[in-house]
Amino acid sequence: MRLRPGRALALAAALAFIATAVWQTHKPLPPGMHVASPVCTVPGAEVTFIPDITAADAYGHPAVSQGIQDEVLKLIGGAQRFVVLDYALIGAAAAAEAPQRRTATELTDALVNLKRARPGVRVLFLTDPGNERFGTAPLPELTLLRAAGVEVVPVALDVLRDPNFLYSSLWRLTLNFWGGPPGEAGALARALNFKADHRKVLIADDARGGLTALVSSANPLERESAWSNAALRFSGAAAAVLLKSELAVARFSGWHGDATGLAPAAAADSACDAAAPTSLGPAQVRVQVLTEGAIRQQLLEQVAAAVRGDSIDIAAFKLADRGVLYGLLEAAQRGVRVRLILDPSEDATTLTPSGLPNQPLASELVSRSAGAVHVRWYRTHGERFHTSLALISGAGRVWLLEGSANLTRRGLEDYNLDADVALEMTRDAPLAEEALGYFETLWSNRAALGIEYTADFAAFADPSQADYWLCRLLEGAGVVAF
């Protein structure tokens, strides 16, 4: 039976679309992605937990505690040989805005001043190309950095897998294949692929031949400067693995710079001590760098290992990954105490409907667990609760995960570029007490009179089946910016 030309053409187009979708969602990952460093034992004094907390008193006046930006500026100011930065977003506030802090300006000034004071210091700055609308609108901060001698590298997103396969497959076969539309239309066409360099990383030499790294959920974007975030600062071999990953990302993004000024500093910390103790004392911490899908793998393993009497405490900007949701539900059914502090997702945009994903999916967890999963909502006042932190604790052990990855399909399933740090420590370690105290403070509203960090679950519960299935559809198809 002979196919008519029209039908043959339609069949060929359909096969090309399916083949493109399958390949672009399953193709090999580029170098530097899905990294899991060795688990390295370091002195507890070499690891620091830094939270940024924004709340408001009974009169609506902001109550702000911040430290991440100060640590960023400190690490830059102390660098003697190199600084590597990777930030999803950077940018000054508009003239009509009054940001909490001029984070982008401070960061830009610090890097420019570093290059002036120590011209030999290498500075490599990786960032998402969306900052400059995919090359159509130069960003003043990045233009200034380039003029100062900073090597600015927009990350090549096309080599990443496609989360929005329905759109991206069509885009690759049409707009991208023929060069794409120019200007703003071309930038929008690329943005709808919903992929990003979402890392928030800074690595610098510590002037003693070693490395210090800062991994956080905070962007130097001034309109986000009041957002609540968290960061971890650490040193040692895990930082060297993170540096290697960042250099690999720079390479596949077209950077051809000489890495010899960076490699010697990393080589000194290239591997963990094989004789590291098998048991931990309160003055020691095990550190592991995780990126992309390796974050999900380790988180699911830790959740699955929790037993009755343990606690799983999560503070998250977005929670939607099905594997994580099922893992939490099963843990609660085993008798593990599960508590979630979530942003209420009250930011209606053209890309993210208001309330999604957190409100309907948290309601699903509470309902299906018969209340065994406990949820509270962070009280935002125009800003966002942007933290991404998980704490799993037992009688004598605490495991902490923190970084840039949202607990979503894009953040955990090898689509976006993301970086987290996992720590293991004894429950009586000072760092463990600090992290557990941070969560308990937010959960129980341990604050000055009139300040409430979190609200009861009923404040934003959404039992609507329509919203639930809409969220499942959008998340599964990748056609929304979760």
Q: Mark whether 249 and 376 lie in a shared domain.
A: no
Q: Mark whether 248 and 318 lie in a shared domain.
A: no
Task: Summarize pLDDT for 336-382 with one digit per residue, the tens.
Answer: 999 999 999 887 555 677 889 999 999 999 999 999 999 999 999 98
What's the CATH code of the domain at 361?
Answer: 3.30.870.10
Domain-ending residue, one of 207, 239, 267 = 267
* Cα Rg, the chain, nearest whole Å: 23
As for how many domains the chain has, the answer is 2
Q: Per residue, what are the HEC states of the chain?
A: CCCCHHHHHHHHHHHHHHHHHHHHHHCCCCCCCCCECCCEEEEHHHCEEEEEEEEECCCCCEEEECCHHHHHHHHHHHCCCEEEEEECCCECCCCCCCCCCCHHHHHHHHHHHHHHHCCCCEEEEEECHHHHHHHCCCCHHHHHHHHCCCEEEECCHHHCCCCCHHHHHHHHHCCCCCCCCCHHHHHHHHHCCCCCECCEEEEEECCCCCEEEEEECCCCEHHHCCCEEEEEEEECHHHHHHHHHHHHHHHHCCCCCCCCCCHHHHHCCCCCCCCCCCCCCCCEEEEEEEECHHHHHHHHHHHHHCCCCCEEEEEECCECCHHHHHHHHHHHHCCCEEEEEECCCCCCCCCCCCCCCHHHHHHHHHHHCCCCEEEEEECCCCCCECCEEEEEECCCEEEEEEECCCECHHHHCCCCECEEEEEEEECCCHHHHHHHHHHHHHHHCCCCCCCCCEECHHHCCCCCHHHHHHHHHHHHHCCCCC
- The span from the CA of 192 to the CA of 184, in Å, is 12
Least confidently predicted of 68-72, 223-227, 330-334, 475-479: 475-479
Task: Summarize pLDDT for 387-420 with one digit per residue, the tens.
Answer: 999 999 998 999 999 999 999 999 999 999 999 9
Neighbouring C-beta atoms of residue 392, cutoff 10 Å = 22
Residue 221's pLDDT is 97
Neighbouring C-beta atoms of residue 224, cutoff 10 Å = 20
Mean per-residue pLDDT over the chain, rounded: 92
Q: Mark whether 288 and 262 lie in a shared domain.
A: no
Q: Mark whether 256 and 309 lie in a shared domain.
A: no
Residue 20 belongs to some domain of the structure: no
Domain-ending residue, one of 237, 267, 297 = 267
Q: Mark whether 179 and 76 lie in a shared domain.
A: yes
Q: Mark whether 398 and 309 lie in a shared domain.
A: yes
Tell whether the torsion through CA atoms of 317, 321, 322 and 323 is positive or negative.
Answer: negative
Residue 400 belongs to some domain of the structure: yes
**Non-local CB neighbours of 105 within 8 Å, separated by 6+ positions:** 92, 141, 222
Residue 302 belongs to some domain of the structure: yes
pLDDT classification of 268: cutoffs 50, 70, 90: very low
Residue 183's pLDDT is 81
Residue 149 belongs to some domain of the structure: yes
Residue 2 belongs to some domain of the structure: no
Residue 95's pLDDT is 72
Residue 359 belongs to some domain of the structure: yes
For residue 128, what are the CA distances in angstroms to 150, 152, 335, 465?
16, 11, 42, 35
With tokens 């986000």, the residue in question is: 224
Residue 198's pLDDT is 98
Q: Mark whether 422 and 314 lie in a shared domain.
A: yes
Residue 66 belongs to some domain of the structure: yes
Least confidently predicted of 51-60, 126-135, 389-398, 425-434: 51-60
Domain-ending residue, one of 217, 237, 267 = 267
The residue-averaged pLDDT of 100-104 equals 95
Residue 463 belongs to some domain of the structure: yes
Q: Mark whether 122 and 69 lie in a shared domain.
A: yes
- The span from the CA of 291 to the CA of 263, in Å, is 20
Q: Mark whether 295 and 253 lie in a shared domain.
A: no
Q: Mark whether 221 and 111 lie in a shared domain.
A: yes
Domain that holds residue 415: 284-477
The residue-averaged pLDDT of 286-305 equals 98
Q: Mark whether 257 and 334 lie in a shared domain.
A: no
The yes-or-no verdict on residue 96 having pLDDT over 80 is no
Task: Summarize pLDDT for 121-142 with one digit per residue, the tens.
Answer: 999 999 999 999 999 999 999 9
Q: Mark whether 304 and 387 lie in a shared domain.
A: yes
The amino acid that residue 199 corresponds to is R
